[in-house]
Amino acid sequence: MRIGYPCLNRSIGCSPSKTFRLASYTDERLEDTVSANLSCLKKILIYNAEHGLLFLRITSDIVPFASHEVCSFPWQVRFSAAFAELGNYCRKNGFRISMHPDQFVLLNAPDERVLARSIADLAYQTAVLDLMGLDRTAKVQIHVGGVYGDKAAAMDRFVKNYRALAPEIRARLVIENDERLYSAADCLALHTKTKIPIILDTFHHSLNNNGEPVNELFSAIRETWNRRDGIPMVDYSSQQGGKRTGAHAETLDPENFSLFLSESRDFDFDLMLEIKDKEKSALQALALAWGDKRLVTVAMPD
DNA sequence: GGCAGTCAAGTACGC
DNA sequence: GCGTACTTGACTGCC
């Protein structure tokens, strides 16, 4: 088990998600922004190595507008050496890496223009991981998509569109259960037709489930990841008190987290903490998990 | 410098 | 029909 957090680090004084308005796009602006974002990403990786946080989700904004038609800059060529260096650092430190396109990426969209934009974005995120030279344990995670008034048809469309993807995208793509439309059971049904690995989001599962016993679910999910995909990834969060159901917690709930560790003790996975205070919660989680036989560590964290 | 409004993108849901 | 929410954070114009 490696423990990590998504996208941003609030302690180090830079953001890897710098962007700009579409209206102010220029090649120069893009080049400067990506350069700054990659330099910040390097700082995050160094921080993570120093603190024993070995799982990181790279922000989709690392190359702003990368999959947009406005983007005419050959960023893959310009930054190939920088991406390779970041990837080397990840491998050297035993990091697990993921990316998570946002809610606009819909592989089962009936509208072909939406589908085309979605595939372009998947190609971009796949290219980032490929440029970093990461093996296929580095994943791009998406939700199944919309229902469009006919769930069976929407799932069939997912299968069809998934099968038509380029092999390099399929090698990285994984699906995650969401809190309203597609449960873990729905994802497992899609797995039987596509062999796509499944990321379990435990918080979403608590809001949208079919009453599965935890052990059965972890067992089934584990079987969707083959050796080349690495051990499963799991997203963890908990409910923020006083906010709408489904709102992610601002800070780690130690009691809830310890219970989660205990309930999942028979299963190994890499764990992403989707808590709003980011690395702070991840460090707390690492401390709470300390001594857990699953934990991968490089050194005792500070 | 600080603030408020707005920002590429899609869908579903509650009012 | 419209506003809101989503992993939300970051940019921009105005004071």
pLDDT in tens, chain A (302 residues): 999 999 989 888 888 999 888 888 889 889 999 999 999 999 999 999 999 999 999 999 999 999 998 898 999 999 999 999 999 999 999 999 999 998 889 999 999 989 999 999 999 999 999 999 999 999 999 999 999 989 999 999 999 999 999 999 999 999 999 988 999 999 999 999 999 999 999 988 988 888 888 889 999 999 999 999 999 999 998 887 767 777 788 889 999 999 999 999 999 999 999 888 889 999 999 999 999 999 997 654 44
- Closest nt by CA–C1' to A179: C6
Predicted pLDDT of residue A299: 52
CA angle A220, A223, A227 (to 5 degrees): 160
The pLDDT of residue A300 is 47
Distance between CA atoms of A117 and A65, rounded to whole angstroms? 11
Write down all domains in chain A, each with its CATH number in brackets: 3-289 (3.20.20.150)
What pLDDT score was predicted for residue A154?
A: 93
- What residues contact residue A279 under an 8 Å CB cut-off, 6+ apart? A5, A9, A10, A11, A47, A48, A51, A53
In degrees, to the nearest 5, what angle opens at C-alpha A117 toward C-alphas A113 and A119? 115
Which residues surround strand C, with CB < 7 Å?
A: A 6-8, 15, 17-21, 24, 61, 100, 102-103, 178, 244, 246-248, 274, 276
pTM beyond 0.85, yes or no: yes
Length of chain A: 302
What are the residues facing A140 on neighbouring strands? A99, A173
Give the nucleotide nearest to A22 (CA→C1').
B8
